[in-house]
Amino acid sequence: MSAEPIIAVVEDDEDIRSNVCRFLARSGFQSWGAESAEDFYVRLLQSRVDLVVIDIGLPGEDGLSLLTRLASQGVPTVLMTARADLDSRIKGLDAGALQYFVKPVDMQELVAGIRSQLRSKRLQGGGDASVAVPWQLDAANAALRAPNQLLVPLTTRELELLSCLFKTKGVVVSKQVLMHAVGGRGLEDDFHRIESALNRLRRKTLEITSMPLPVRAVFGKGLVFVT
């Protein structure tokens, strides 16, 4: 872990996000912000992170879904939300949050909690939380190999879609390029068919490998295979 741990703040309220990032900087952390889970996935392609502060009520993919994905990869997370009821607290902690802060959050308490979690991870020998083994596409055998080495068989359309995304992993591929890759005519219905195929592939991948497929939708732009 670096001398200055890097904290990501995923919060759709720009004022809150900026205030938290500024306070973290004054407290000796590096930080960066994202307005949504989708924005976080894209920013993560260029920036490392040691801990993520997440708001539950995000646009698009909600905070609990993002938290669950990160917790499954060993990334420390804390929740910062306006939801103070007991059921929300239980759901957040069950999903993998290490701590649960209710807005308005005392910034000193938030920083103390972050430092505590980073110390715990250091004592447990935790290093880079990213998956070391990459996802691999076996085009010859029409299969996707997960980091845990389990194979997901692919249909022709799934193979065409992943082949397109794998060519530029980490880069958003536009709807038009994706539709062309699977032999579409560039119509909106063609992209709906791609989305349906992707949803089936997500379910199949999760069932076979117990790992979420790292393909993210970037609103209004297209899809990206996150590495």
pLDDT of residue 130: 41
Please say whether the structural domain 136-225 has been given the CATH code 1.10.10.10: yes
216-219: which pairs have CB atoms within 8 A and are 24 or more residues apart? 216/38, 216/41, 216/42, 217/38, 218/38, 218/42, 218/172, 219/36, 219/38, 219/60
pLDDT score at 186:
52
Q: What pLDDT, on the 0 to 100 scale, is given for residue 120?
A: 75
Separation CA 222–CA 147 (nearest Å): 24
pTM for this predicted structure: 0.57
Q: Pick one of 3.40.50.2300, 3.10.180.10, 3.40.50.2000, 3.40.470.10 as the CATH number of 6-123.
A: 3.40.50.2300
* pLDDT reported for residue 98: 86
Do residues 182 and 222 touch, judged by C-beta distance below 8 A?
A: no
The answer to whether domain 6-123 and domain 136-225 are alike in fold is no
Q: Where are the domains of the chain?
A: 6-123, 136-225
Per-position pLDDT tens, the chain of length 227: 445 789 999 999 999 999 999 999 999 999 999 999 989 988 887 788 899 999 999 998 899 999 988 887 788 999 999 988 888 888 888 888 888 999 988 999 999 989 988 887 776 554 444 434 678 999 999 999 987 778 999 999 999 999 999 998 888 888 888 888 877 655 556 678 888 888 899 889 888 887 778 888 877 788 888 76
Residue labelled with tokens 């879609």: 161
